[in-house]
Amino acid sequence: MSDTVRAPAGDAPSVAPSGTPAAPIESTETKAILAQALAASVEPLAEELATDARFAKTRLVALDVDGTLTDGRIVYGSRAPVAEIQAFHVQDGLAILWLQRAGITVAFVTGRGCAATAHRAAELGVVEYHAHVASKGETVRELQRRLGVEVGETVAMGDDLPDLSMRPCSAVFVAPANAVAEVKDRAGLVTRAGGGAGAVRELAEHVLRAQGRWQALVEAAER
């Protein structure tokens, strides 16, 4: 399970002489956690990803958030529990934009949900943001019905047991490197990168390579 970190009680906002609350001061512990999360990077791949035909028909990519788009930690600042802090990887964000520009629907499907996650979804133009869901599998099936997407056109990604309900409704269920053993054992692909450290970027490359779109992206970047 993900660790939950709360700022020590002594870090509550101080009050200015005028009676106006002063700006919150983050604890040393919180700052250290954020610095570590923000420093996470994708391990260089030893070789190019091979083209995987299983991703050729992908039209829907359903992503868990905590532990997949993030490293799984939940950080509360001085105004806990309101000020929840999440660290997302910039390469994952770019990959999500690439997928959407290729006409692929990206959905965030999370059992939690917070202002930071909703903001990240909006920032990336992810319209299908589904928070506080009881069953991720049922949410994906509803998306498929509404969007007219088949199981064979769906890819799902998650790191823990609640994410396995998405497996039967996806052509390929993908696990990040940090996933629990039971999820890795049942995944059709385990990425080399971990959650919050480029796992979604890696998945996106598999999809775009399989659909013959990757080389055009590389060439466009060189112009």
Contact call for residues 187 and 175 (beta carbons, < 8 A): yes
pLDDT for 37 beyond 60: no
Percent of the chain beyond pLDDT 70? 77
Give pLDDT, residue 11.
40
Instruction: Collect all residues with Cβ–Cβ distance below 8 Å to 218 and sequence separation of at least 6.
Output: none
Give pLDDT, residue 75.
87
Contact call for residues 160 and 145 (beta carbons, < 8 A): no
User: What are 172's strand-pairing partners?
Assistant: 155
pLDDT digits (tens, 9 = 90+) for 55-64: 999 999 999 9
| More confident of the two residues 5 and 164 | 164
Which CATH number is correct for 37-221, 3.40.1160.10, 3.40.50.2000, 3.40.50.1000, 3.60.110.10? 3.40.50.1000
Q: Indicate the pTM of the whole model.
A: 0.78
Average pLDDT over residues 82-90: 86
Give pLDDT, residue 36.
56
Average pLDDT over residues 79-83: 65
- Neighbour tally for 171: CB within 10 Å: 18
Q: Which two tokens stand for residue 192?
A: 């080399």
Q: What does the domain layout of the chain look like in residue ranges?
A: 37-221
pLDDT for 205 beyond 90: yes
> Distance (Å, rounded) from C-alpha 70 to C-alpha 199?
10
Q: Which of 168, 47, 62, 67 is nearest to 112 (CA)?
A: 67
Q: Quote the Cα angle for 139-104-200, to 5°.
A: 75
pLDDT digits (tens, 9 = 90+) for 152-168: 999 999 999 999 999 99
**Residue where the block lists tokens 């069953």:** 135
Indicate if the alpha-carbon torsion angle 110, 196, 44, 222 is positive or negative.
Answer: positive
